[in-house]
Structure 1
Amino acid sequence: MGATGGSGVLAAGLLWVALVAAVTEEPPAHALAEVLFCQPAMPSLGLALTFDADQLFWFDFPGSRWTPRLPDLPPWPPALEPPTQLLRDATLCQDLRRALTALAAGMLPESKGIPVADVFPVQPPALGEATTLVCMVANIFPPAVEISWQLDGVPVTQGVTHTHYTPTADLTFIRFSYLSVTPAAGDIYTCIVTHEGDNASVVAYWVPPNPVTSEVLETALCGAAMALGILLALLGIAMVLAARRSAHG
């Protein structure tokens, strides 16, 4: 995370609460972490349960329920952490954030991370066949970014889904955005990441590969085979002529 002077805000007003359990029987160790964050920006609250770098569950505060990251995960046991307790923790987080921000105002700079974006397809793409593009945005801090898509400079909103923020071991966040596409030759897909309140954006591009068509490939192979045949024929004629000259000599 980088620091910028002049704002006098305590780390964007974020407070982390984490519970980590490490399995040390054999390397590498694994970590199960529960991370709660609160901030003035949206989303104002976030709570995620992760195993190593993978998010398992996130807590839906408006709905007061745990939601699995993947649909085939079993439901979170409601008696393990009652929603009322988590809502009290969230209130405490906001109260502490406001108190610490008031104490540190004018003393500590604002801490920000510069997002890093990368766009790639879920599976090897083929022109004219439907696939999904993934925009992976890492080094997010604070967790308040907007991710948008463009096709040839035109905004795209259909077929777009976003994940919730996943905390990482280096105290930043990662987030994914997905776009359903049917790539065509010459398409230029753009993933744009913007921090709330910033005038700068991080942009990542993806251009579908332009493979050689089967007809062109067949023509090239036939041409190469013909050229090789002519070369071998000329070599054979040269060898015959050389042998005859040796015999007459």
Structure 2
Amino acid sequence: MGHIVAALLWAVWVAVAVGDPVPDPPSHLLSEVLTCQPDPPSLSLSVTLDGRALFWFDFPGSRWNPGIPSLPRWPPELESPQDILPESQLCREILGILGHHLTGRLPEAKGVPILSLFPALPPLSGEPNTLVCLVENVFPPVLDITWSVAGATVTHGVTHGPFVPTSDLTFIRISRISVVPQPGAVYTCTVTSHKDNATMVAYWVAPDTALDEQLGTVLAGAALALGIVLALLGATLALMARRDRNGTGIIPVWAWF
């Protein structure tokens, strides 16, 4: 554990040592966190930068996965699956010892999950999009995320991310679903904690973009009409003022209404 951190820090030290003096860069936090617990997922391992997942280890598949699709594959020489297994076994052994001695003696820490549901792109009727369900303040990292459309459960096009540790000792988890929004369609992200028998729900209703366009056209037309009226009124007032300078008098504006 920590090979990736050590390698990156060494690379940064060498770059600074051989280069010209540079101002202190902004501080960032690169961390590698291994967690183990009695409930599934029993093991999780993430490499994060400022709380954003760079890579996470899939223990059933015994491979590293990128947390950001555009990232290249994990360099196998930094930390191979064989390097991780002894550390994960040690984590389980420590958990067993601590669990045996501390169960019932220390209060169990819990977090109330906070849900956010939003589209990845500005929604357009009939255009493919992705809905993102962001679950924050998760602790312990044990919960299920399900999707439904108009009350019917949906599994096609759904992807679930790992539990990602944060600097405040909680976790976040992201789930995504590929959709083609239809006006008025109701999408639901449901988070369930079977351990606490608790359920939280977030909704997103697809807007009617065609109606928004029509409303925008009407408002633009009304603004244009108002501009023309104000322009005519201004021209009339200017003409009346000119007549007044010629001694012909001026009609009060309120007399027009």
The two structures have a TM-score, normalised by structure 1, of 0.78
Where does residue 73 of structure 2 map in the other structure? Answer: 75
Tell me, yes or no, if the aligned pair for 1:121 and 1:131 is still in contact at 8 Å: yes
| Counterparts in 2 of 1:214 and 1:107: CA distance versus 1, 3 Å | closer
| Counterparts in 2 of 1:99 and 1:236: CA distance versus 1, 3 Å | same
Where does residue 217 of structure 2 map in the other structure? Answer: 218
Aligned counterpart in structure 1 of residue 189 of structure 2, from 184, 188, 191: 191
Correspondence 1:247 to 2:248: yes
| Between 55-64 and 102-111, the greater mean CA deviation after superposition | 55-64
| Between 141-150 and 67-76, the greater mean CA deviation after superposition | 67-76
Where does residue 98 of structure 1 map in the other structure? Answer: 96
Letter in 1 for 2:248: A
Where does residue 209 of structure 1 map in the other structure? Answer: 207
Deviation of 1:150 (Å) = 2.0
Letter in 1 for 2:85: L
Tell me, yes or no, if the aligned pair for 2:53 and 2:68 is still in contact at 8 Å: no
Correspondence 1:58 to 2:56: yes
1:9-33 Cα deviation digits (max 9, x unpaired): xxxxxxxx87867889725322221
Deviation of 1:215 (Å) = 4.3
Where does residue 200 of structure 1 map in the other structure? Answer: 198
Deviation of 1:62 (Å) = 2.4
Deviation of 1:230 (Å) = 5.2
Deviation of 1:35 (Å) = 0.8
SS in 2 for 1:102: helix
Distance 1:204 1:113 in 2: 18
| Between 69-78 and 95-104, the greater mean CA deviation after superposition | 69-78
SS in 2 for 1:36: strand
Distance 1:31 1:217 in 2: 45
Where does residue 31 of structure 2 map in the other structure? Answer: 33
Distance 1:222 1:63 in 2: 60
Aligned counterpart in structure 1 of residue 114 of structure 2, from 113, 116, 131: 116
Distance 1:33 1:117 in 2: 25
1:41-91 Cα deviation digits (max 9, x unpaired): 111111111222221222222232222224443333334334233111111
Hey, which of these two has a bigger chunk of helix by percent? 2
Distance 1:27 1:141 in 2: 32
Tell me, yes or no, if the aligned pair for 2:148 and 2:187 is still in contact at 8 Å: yes
Hey, which of these two has a bigger chunk of strand by percent? 1
Deviation of 1:216 (Å) = 4.5
Distance 1:83 1:225 in 2: 67
Tell me, yes or no, if the aligned pair for 1:18 and 1:36 is still in contact at 8 Å: no
Where does residue 180 of structure 1 map in the other structure? Answer: 178
RMSD across aligned positions (CA): 3.1
Give ranges in structure 2 of 5+ residues lacking alignment: 14-22, 251-257
Letter in 2 for 1:198: D
Aligned counterpart in structure 1 of residue 157 of structure 2, from 156, 159, 175: 159
Distance 2:35 2:249 in 1: 96
| Counterparts in 2 of 1:233 and 1:200: CA distance versus 1, 3 Å | same
| Counterparts in 2 of 1:41 and 1:227: CA distance versus 1, 3 Å | same
Give ranges in structure 1 of 5+ residues lacking alignment: 1-16
